[in-house]
Amino acid sequence: MVNILSYLENSAKAFPQKIAFADDETEITFSGLKNAAMAIASRILELTNSERNVPVVVLLKKSVNCITAFMGITYAADFYTPLDSTSPQARLLKIKDTLRPRLIITTKELLPAAQSLGFCEEQIILIEDAVSHSIDSGKIEAALSGKIDTDPLYILFTSGSTGTPKGVTICHRSVIDYIEWVCNTFHFDENTRFGNQAPFYFDNSILDIYSTLKTGATTYIIPEKLFIFPVKLIEYLNEKKINTIFWVPSALIYAANSKILSKQIPQYLTKILFCGEVMPNKQLNIWRRALPDALYANLYGPTEITDVCAYYMVDREMSDDEPLPIGFPCANTDIIVLNEKNEAVKGSEIGELCVRGTSLSLGYYNNPEKTRDAFVQNPLNPYYPELIYRTGDLVKYNERHELIYLCRRDFQIKHMGHRIEIGEIETAALSLPNMENGCIVYDEQANKIVLFYQSETLDDAAVLVGMRDLLPKYMLPNRLIKLDRMPMNANGKIDRVTLKESLKK
Amino acid sequence: MEEIIKILKQFRPDIDFENQKNLIGDGLLDSLDIVSIVSEFDSEFDIEIPVEEITPENFNSVQAMKELIERLKDEA
């Protein structure tokens, strides 16, 4: 198997009339998905003259349509990048500058947004028209015959410290390697009903999408609004008989803290997986008491190694203040923990988690410098070229030889499950007219992004309004503190330690 | 009322809270906002908004939020 389309083809044969994906407005069967995707592909191949490996962006509200667009692009032997339709134009333009997409798939509703990003008429595909385009199977077959498993499937953009997002390029082979592991390990099959939380621009959604395609399961795309209202969320899970979720811990923590679980439980739920940030045992224990028979698994991994590289099946009692392990490497994945001398750690020594295997990204698209920094020769192997990915996460082994996550070695944070480079927020803040100086500190206790700033004329509201045009919402400061002057350390840099200390008062 | 608007403006200075009556329905407030608003109301007004009260209806307008806070204060 060299192309993830085999998953869709097999399921369309085995379960043609079964619902594959559903949102609050529409649903699509496996055979319907295959046909719609082939129609879109036929339209794409017309516009690209059947050229392979062309970048195509998708600007759509989170919906079944997104999946259809992704598969259409894949049938055209190209690769896709979902754009967050709620992200400000300035950030989408940065992504566009790096990716230089040839085409955009969107809807009539979002057409003005696509045009204002600079796409001209012959670059825009309206999905409502494309799904009924006539299918040219010969063209599709010819395009796919030259596609190999190390060609890209998708590119997802993550926060970049200098303000420019980085495009993590993932190939078919890596996704196949991951999906085979995840479906075998968690026994997903056609009876699995996923309740999808992850946005499609976030790689946790890879599990939902491709496990569904492989096994003939069904994914229900949960309307984002429901995550605000726990009572309605549980009602939804029960109404759709959701039995499997793979959510960011923030969503599980919010539900646990709301105390909903002592009043009402998701009665069909048997598998609860999470990934994206630290899951505290305090809230996990609330879930475990509410649903004692469910399977709980802590998954770990950055986008650069295709979603997940380590996992821990929760198999014993844990106290509220204990750290939850990230456990052990997935099948066909190796984790090396390197100390500052680039040697493998011994015992419980702290080191950087590095990954080796098929799961590794092809690199950051159109960004050789950043790629060279993060994807490096395995220092333990001087004999032949072998890349490892340096995650920047510091970890250690506990006495059971389980991996324990400790902290970052740089200025990356996890906020509400989103991976953010503090530098990207600072770059945006400092770019505002009349902003004299500024610094971002993350308050881990309160889970708040705090902006300290210095300006004669700007006030908090003006700063926030200005930043909304530059950054997606989850990157905006939650608290602003205006200072007459930034504290400086001996090296003449902003004294982050003093600023962080001031938050504790 | 003023106090509530002040808190709301802290998170969303771009919204005209005095005149918007369909904050949730129109998608002006999202989950991140509600999380922040609920925790700020809890600490500012010394209440605990129970999960049953976190509904679209109670957060659609400043008036609705005010009534919710007053009701919870009376019950306390």
CATH number at residue B13: 1.10.1200.10
Q: Which of A37-41, A200-204, A282-286, A497-501 is predicted least confidently?
A: A497-501
Q: Which residues of chain A lie closer than 8 angstroms to B48, CB-CB?
A: none
Taking CB atoms and an 8 Å limit, are A259 and B32 in contact across chains? no
- State how far the Cα of B46 lies from the Cα of B39, in Å rounded to an integer: 10
Spatial neighbors of A409 by CB under 8 A, at least 6 apart, are A352, A392, A393, A394
Question: Between A13 and B52, where is the model more confident?
Answer: A13
Chain B touched by A465 (CB under 8 Å)? yes
Taking CB atoms and an 8 Å limit, are B14 and A464 in contact across chains? yes
Taking CB atoms and an 8 Å limit, are A228 and B30 in contact across chains? yes
Report the number of distinct structural domains present in chain B: 1
Q: To the nearest whole angstrom, how far is the Cα of A235 from the nearest Cα of chain B?
A: 12
- What's the whole-number mean pLDDT along residues A1-19? 98
Q: What's the predicted TM-score (pTM) here?
A: 0.92
Give the burial string for B44-61 (b: 16+ CB within 10 Å, else e).
Answer: ebebebebebbbbebbbb
Q: To the nearest whole angstrom, how far is the Cα of A295 from the nearest Cα of chain B?
A: 25
Question: Between B13 and A167, where is the model more confident?
Answer: A167
The pLDDT, as a whole number, for residue A301 is 96
Q: Which tokens is A465 given?
A: 């309004």
The pLDDT, as a whole number, for residue A355 is 98
Q: To the nearest whole angstrom, how far is the Cα of B54 from the nearest Cα of chain A?
A: 6
Chain B touched by A35 (CB under 8 Å)? no
Share of residues in chain A with pLDDT > 90 (%): 91
Question: Kind and range of the H or E element at A394?
Answer: strand A387-397
> What confidence category does residue A466 fall into, taking pLDDT thresholds of 50, 70 and 90?
very high
- State how far the Cα of A113 lies from the Cα of A352, in Å rounded to an integer: 41
pLDDT in tens, A367-413: 999 999 999 999 999 999 999 999 999 999 999 999 999 999 999 99
Q: Which tokens is A268 given?
A: 């069909």
Which of A109, A125, A159 lies at the terminal end of a domain, its last residue? A159
Q: Is residue A276 part of a domain?
A: no
- State how far the Cα of A351 lies from the Cα of A345, in Å rounded to an integer: 6
Residue owning tokens 């040839």: A102
- State how far the Cα of B63 lies from the Cα of B68, in Å rounded to an integer: 9
Question: Across the interface, which of B10, B32, B52 has its CB nearest the CB of A231?
Answer: B52
- State how far the Cα of A346 lies from the Cα of B27, in Å rounded to an integer: 52
Q: How far is CA A446 from the centre of its chain?
A: 23
pLDDT exceeds 80 at position B32: no
* Domain boundaries, position B32: 2-75
Taking CB atoms and an 8 Å limit, are A227 and B31 in contact across chains? yes
- State how far the Cα of A177 lies from the Cα of A359, in Å rounded to an integer: 7
Q: To the nearest whole angstrom, how far is the Cα of B26 from the nearest Cα of chain A?
A: 11
Q: Is residue A328 part of a domain?
A: no
Question: Between A436 and A446, where is the model more confident?
Answer: A436
pLDDT exceeds 80 at position B31: no
Interface test with B, best of A225, A228, A482 (most B CBs within 10 A): A228
CB under 8 A, 24+ apart: contacts of A18-21: A18/A190, A18/A216, A18/A218, A19/A218, A20/A67, A20/A212, A20/A213, A20/A216, A20/A218, A20/A219, A21/A64, A21/A67, A21/A212, A21/A218, A21/A219, A21/A221
A–B: how many Cβ contacts below 8 A? 48
Q: Which of A268-272, A477-481, B26-30 is predicted least confidently?
A: B26-30
CATH number at residue A62: 3.40.50.12780
Q: Which residue of A has its CA nearest to B30?
A: A225
Taking CB atoms and an 8 Å limit, are A259 and B50 in contact across chains? yes
Taking CB atoms and an 8 Å limit, are A464 and B13 in contact across chains? yes
Q: Which residue of A has its CA nearest to B14?
A: A465
Taking CB atoms and an 8 Å limit, are A225 and B50 in contact across chains? no
The pLDDT, as a whole number, for residue B39 is 85
> What confidence category does residue B36 fall into, taking pLDDT thresholds of 50, 70 and 90?
confident
Q: To the nearest whole angstrom, how far is the Cα of B51 from the nearest Cα of chain A?
A: 5
Share of residues in chain A with pLDDT > 70 (%): 100
Chain B touched by A231 (CB under 8 Å)? yes
The pLDDT, as a whole number, for residue B15 is 87
CATH number at residue A471: 3.30.300.30
Taking CB atoms and an 8 Å limit, are B54 and A229 in contact across chains? yes
- What's the whole-number mean pLDDT along residues A209-229? 95
Q: Which of A256, A332, A258 is nearest to A296 (CA)?
A: A256
Arithmetic mean of pLDDT over chain A: 96
**Dihedral angle at the C-alpha atoms of A408, A411, A414, A419, nearest 10 degrees?**
-110
Q: Which of A116, A83, A122, A110 is nearest to A99 (CA)?
A: A83
Q: Which residues of chain B lie closer than 8 angstroms to A231, CB-CB?
A: 51-52, 54-55
Question: Across the interface, which of A224, A461, A468 has its CB nearest the CB of B31?
Answer: A224
- What's the whole-number mean pLDDT along residues B8-17? 86
Q: Which tokens is A114 given?
A: 């696509």
Question: Across the interface, which of B10, B24, B54 has its CB nearest the CB of A230?
Answer: B54
Q: Quick one: A447 exposed, middle or buried, by C-beta within 10 A (0-12, 13-18, 19+)?
A: middle
* Degrees to nearest 5, angle at CA B31 with B30 and B35: 125
Interface test with B, best of A229, A258, A470, A478 (most B CBs within 10 A): A229
Share of residues in chain B with pLDDT > 90 (%): 41
Interface test with A, best of B14, B36, B52 (most A CBs within 10 A): B52
- What's the whole-number mean pLDDT along residues A494-502? 90
Residue owning tokens 């109404």: A239
User: A287 to each of A228, A241, A337, A430, A470, how far by Cα in Å?
Assistant: 18, 18, 31, 42, 37
Residue owning tokens 């881990």: A444
- What's the whole-number mean pLDDT along residues A109-119? 97
> What confidence category does residue B30 fall into, taking pLDDT thresholds of 50, 70 and 90?
confident
* Domain boundaries, position A97: 5-159
Q: Which of A181, A269, A223, A252 is nearest to A63 (CA)?
A: A223
**Residues forming beta bridges with residue A442, ordered by sequence position:** A449
Question: Kind and range of the H or E element at A253?
Answer: helix A249-257
> What confidence category does residue A218 fall into, taking pLDDT thresholds of 50, 70 and 90?
very high
Q: Which residue of B has its CA nearest to A460?
A: B10
Taking CB atoms and an 8 Å limit, are A228 and B11 in contact across chains? no
pLDDT exceeds 90 at position A292: yes
Report the number of distinct structural domains present in chain A: 2
The pLDDT, as a whole number, for residue A274 is 97
Q: Which tokens is A378 given?
A: 């395995």
